[in-house]
Structure 1
Amino acid sequence: MAEVLGKVLVVDDDEVIRQLIAVNLNLEGFEVETATDGQDCLDRVRDVKPDVITLDVMMPRLDGWSTAEKLRAEPDTSHIRVVLVTARAQDDDRRRGLGIGVDAYLTKPFDPAELIEVVRELAARS
Structure 2
Amino acid sequence: MDDDEVIRQLIAVNLSLEGFEVATATDGQDCLERVLDVMPDVITLDVMMPCLDGWVTAQRLRMGEATSHIKVVLITARAQDDDKRRGRGIGVDAYLTKPFDPAELIQVVRDLAADAST
What is the CA deviation profile of residues 17-63 of structure 1, one whole-angstrom value per residue up to 9, with x for unaligned ones? 00000000000000000000000000000001100000000000000
Task: Report the CA distance between 1:64 and its aligned residue.
Answer: 0.2
Q: Which runs of structure 2 are paired with 1:15-30 in the superposition (5 Å)? A: 15-30=5-20
> Which of 44, 51, 54 pairs up with 2:34?
44
TM-score by length of 1: 0.92
**Alpha-carbon distance in 1 for matches of 2:11, 2:64:** 26
Structure 2 alignment gaps of length 5 or more? none
TM-score by length of 2: 0.98
> Which of 105, 109, 112 pairs up with 1:119?
109
Could you say which residue in structure 1 is the equivalent of 2:43?
53
**Alpha-carbon distance in 2 for matches of 1:40, 1:80:** 16
Could you say which residue in structure 1 is the equivalent of 2:2?
12
**Alpha-carbon distance in 2 for matches of 1:49, 1:75:** 12
Return the letter of the residue paired with 2:78.
R
Q: Segments of 4+ in structure 1 off by > 6 A? A: none
Task: Report the CA distance between 1:114 and its aligned residue.
Answer: 0.2
Could you say which residue in structure 2 is the equivalent of 1:63?
53
> Which of 86, 90, 112 pairs up with 2:76?
86
Identity %: 81
The RMSD of aligned alpha carbons is 0.3
Structure 1 alignment gaps of length 5 or more? 1-10
**Alpha-carbon distance in 2 for matches of 1:43, 1:59:** 15
| Pair 1:73 & 2:73 matched | no
**Alpha-carbon distance in 2 for matches of 1:49, 1:105:** 21
Between Structure 1 and Structure 2, how many residues are aligned? 116
What is the CA deviation profile of residues 80-122 of structure 1, one whole-angstrom value per residue up to 9, with x for unaligned ones? 0000000000000000001100000000000000000000000
